[in-house]
Amino acid sequence: MRLGVSLAALGGIVYGINAHTPGFGLHGQALALLICVVVACLGWLVRTVTVYLDNQHRTLTATAAGGALVTAGGLLMSIAPVPAALALAGVGAFTAAVELTPALATTLTAAGVLVAAVGTATINHQWVAFAGYSAGLVALTLAGFNRRQYKQRLVQAEQLLTQTRIAAAADTRAAALDERTRIARDIHDVLAHSLGAVAVQLDAADALLEAGTGTPRARHHVQRARHLTVDGLTEARRAVGALRNDAPPLGDQLSALVADHHNDAATLTIFGEPRPLPANAALTIYRTAQEGLSNARKHAPGQPVTLHVHYHHDNVAVTITNPTGTTADGSALGATGGSYGLPGLAERATLLGGTLTAGQDATNWSLQLWLPT
């Protein structure tokens, strides 16, 4: 389609030149006219196929086509000042301005004006026609520069759109990875606390049964393991609720957690004015309290545990403290459970801009969490 339109336009221009001039011939001015038209046709055809070439060859062909057209147009202007002369030279200048560098395109336009000026001075001396020809050639060159900038803006817009899509895809992947990491932490917390606590009770029961004494106590540990299993299911439901941002108030969760500490004495004290917290912050506080109570149950069973929550105007501080102790029955119950509880909590706190520290002095073990709100 494009090639057909281009050839039809060229045919119309050649027909117009032949109709408004003495015509083509093999002698004198008619021969010069024929040569100009042949050169212009060659340049026009080269210009037409330029769009199908790669960038490396396009520069060469656009230069050749522009040079042939502006030269032929300038000579034609000198021989027979007709509109077709400006049409040929103008197409060459416009193409050069779009395809070539501004310096090279300007050079070709200047060369076309120079050829027309020399021809006008030596052949027809029609300076008014030359002035109109030169102004039209410059105007078409400027139009080509405008078209070039428009194409560059389109390319830049497409590149920006592509980069935006890539960035959006990267953000989506990062968000999905963060969500998978969050879910992995919650699954770990549920399994570590429920199954770890069940393992503690079953190990205690096994130790008592193996010793052949304390059958009622062993039965108590088995019942306790069953209760912890039920609690694990509740924890799983709570984790799903937290993932859906549909968890109960933090104070109620902590109260239930302390009440569930059973035979181990645990107290909850809240300082400041409680307020709703972001879901991630509330879940991190709950998991920290859960980890602290679970560790106290494993490493210092029967010892009092204090859970303090301080609401400040721009942060929340949580402290879980219990005396150091040893596990009951001489068994290594403290070794049960996962080893990722505290590192996972520390990672949670860091992601929220907070800190988590744990350690012990001569008499007490403490776990401290600080989160901005």
- The more confident residue out of 52 and 278 is 278
Q: Does pLDDT of 337 surpass 50?
A: no
Q: Which domains does the chain have, with CATH numbers?
A: 2-125 (no CATH), 169-372 (3.30.565.10)
Task: Assign 311 a pLDDT band (cuts: 50, 70, 90).
Answer: very high
Residue pLDDT, tens place only, 126-174: 888 888 888 888 898 899 999 989 988 999 999 999 998 999 888 888 8
What integer pLDDT is reported at residue 331 of this predicted model? 40
User: Which two structure tokens, joined as six digits, stand for 128?
Assistant: 């008014």
Q: Does pLDDT of 65 surpass 50?
A: yes
What integer pLDDT is reported at residue 316 of this predicted model? 96
Cα–Cα separations (whole angstroms), residue 127 to 78, 122, 140, 280: 10, 11, 20, 82
What integer pLDDT is reported at residue 320 of this predicted model? 94
Q: Does pLDDT of 121 surpass 70?
A: yes
> Is the entire prediction scored with pTM above 0.85?
no
For residues 137 and 199, what is the distance between their CA atoms, to the nearest angstrom? Answer: 91
Sequence-distant (≥ 6) Cβ neighbours of residue 254 within 8 angstroms: 268, 270, 285, 286, 289, 307, 309
User: Which two structure tokens, joined as six digits, stand for 38?
Assistant: 């042949």
Amino acid 228 reads L
Residue pLDDT, tens place only, 80-93: 777 777 788 888 88
Q: Does pLDDT of 345 surpass 70?
A: yes
For residues 126 and 78, what is the distance between their CA atoms, to the nearest angstrom? Answer: 8
How would DSSP label each residue in 237-284?
HHHHHHHTT-PPPHHHHHHHHHHTTTTS-EEEEEES------HHHHHH
Residue pLDDT, tens place only, 7-41: 676 667 776 676 666 666 566 666 777 777 777 78
What integer pLDDT is reported at residue 68 of this predicted model? 83
Task: Assign 233 a pLDDT band (cuts: 50, 70, 90).
Answer: confident
User: Which two structure tokens, joined as six digits, stand for 64?
Assistant: 């050749």
Nearest CA to 45 out of 3, 83, 73, 84 is that of 3
Strand 355-360 with 315-323, pairing: unpaired
